Structure 1
Amino acid sequence: MARTLETTTAGCPARLMTRSAALEPVPTAVVAAGSPVALESARRAATLGLIEPVLVGDPAAIADSARSIGWTLHGACVVPARDDAAAARIAVALARSGDVGALMKGHIHTDTLMLAALDPKNGLRTGRRFTHAFHMTLPESGRELVITDAAINVAPSLNTRLDIIRNAVELWRLVGGSDPRVALLSCTEEVTERVPSSMDADRLTRLCQQEVPGATVFGPLALDLAVSAEAARIKNLTHPCAGAADILVVPNIETGNALFKALVHFLDAVAAGIVLGAAVPIILTSRADPPAARIAAAAIAQIVAGRRSATPGAPYPATAAKGGAAPGLHA
């Protein structure tokens, strides 16, 4: 039996859904759309008014997968692509031309999609580093956090981490947060040469005072001191970030990956993953993602794309990608 998504928004962050409700659906290229999970994700997001799907991939595979989930594809836009690499290039070209305002990963390896998006001449570069953020919602408390970078930058340099912080701060504001408190994680709150991540966090704290206005950035902080007011009280740490962080910046991809998965699997958190810093938001989903995470990621992409009440039938506003024009989408 084909795997499908649930038809409710149960578990989706209410604040995200409320904020996205005021926006128009964002035209979104679903890259390598020929799988039941990819198509059901697109269909559900479209039904909720989050996206207008443009299905890029093998038309036969798309048609077969659509039949398996009972989707007639009536009125849907299908753009042929001979393989995954071609699908990624075509989707990026559609974003460059302004025909779509977001990309959604379908049945394609992340590296293949990102290779096309990062192409120096024909990609979606804007001058800022591509970074990944998980918007996390804890269901029992409703607390929201951003964890970054847990998916793209493996061992980021200080300059890369500055872009990671900038992108995360912008995301936090877009989803309705006030000036965020940003914790730079390490295994200790002490600056010591024995722990390189503590030294980096100390340097970043000072750099961000000038480079990231409107946010309170502090580190190093161990995880408990970043999220637990009681732990901060016991250790007499009175900084505004202590115990009250909105954004957790991890020192490397291993830490971020383990942290977000622990929250998902032990606390049933909803993790909505998105790539920032590109000319358009890129929704990165996994086959293991539950429905709520897929819908939340689409809602965030819609918010980031920021399309409001565009004239019906008009092309999506041109993106800020560097380089020459790309061929447009024709009905």
Structure 2
Amino acid sequence: MTHDDMQSTAPTALTPRTRRHSRRNVLALAGSVITVGFAGCLTGDATTEHGWQRVDSPTKRALHDVVLSAGGPVAVGESGRVLVRTDGDWETVAESGPGGASNGLVGAAVTNDGERVWMCGDSGAAGYYDVADDELTDRSAPREKTSSWEDVAVVGQTGDERISLINGSGELLVGRNQQGTIQWGEVTKPTDGDSANAIAVDGKAGYLCDTTGSVYRKPAGGRWDSIGIDDVDTDLHDVATLDADTVTVVGDDGTIYLYNGFNWVSLATVETALHAVDRRDGRGAAVGPGGTVIAVDGNEWSAADTSISKTLHGVALGTVEFSDVAVGADGTILENFR
């Protein structure tokens, strides 16, 4: 990408409601789940005293994605809602985020240092939330693109990050923060026009998945190439990486697929679609309709009882400081106290 290919976009600051900055400790998980081995079908029922529990939400609007920032979980959703977790409650940062109230937010990603959360959605909505400053900045319609973004990925530290946006036409737009100015490159089509649903990028490779069951990989300095999935023809909804050669995708067929750098393995299957997946430090979780949560710790994927019937759209795994979080329809928020 040359300087002549780039376009600078001036930011518009949005003023969020003042909130407390604090963190919440995590409780220990004392529940049991039904487990299944690789390539199995998840069956059975389980109840837990702790584990995935529904918590109070400040909105009844659907929440579509959630990520873990340095200050705790941040969720985005319908009508541009942006929510954050404080020490005692979930609070609304903005009732209408980047792009305004008429544009829902469907994707979110966080910088490597956890200090900035990028978000995207309808009609070109795009922007970021700075955790320490408690400030939202609107970067909507980059390169005058007003089609709806399906997902966003970010790599790098705050102020020096690289942003990747994809839309339903299979278009990819990459921007780089250079001395506080976001410069956007030319639009490309890695999927040759097939609708792209999700993208994940780390320092060594990027991955995206589409509606035809295909996954594409781009090594650093290389080009996008299809890496499968052979004999799979389903709408793939999400992709998550543990490292440059360990990738997990989920989709409408309810199967969890793992790429190990050489080939794909079917890990587990449920009888419903899976909408989102997250991986962290050898752990993983996937969510879907009917309150479905499938988790892995080590090599065994397990079906957890969430005691809800709401559709879940997004999931973010926690750390020793923060609980796991899943979000979904009607403002549903679940937290897993490990």
TM-score, normalising length: structure 2: 0.28
Structure with more strand by fraction: 2
Q: Which has the higher contact order (CA 8 A, sep 6+)?
A: 1
Greater helix share, structure number: 1
Greater Rg over alpha carbons, structure: 1
- Scaled by the length of structure 1, the TM-score of the pair is 0.28
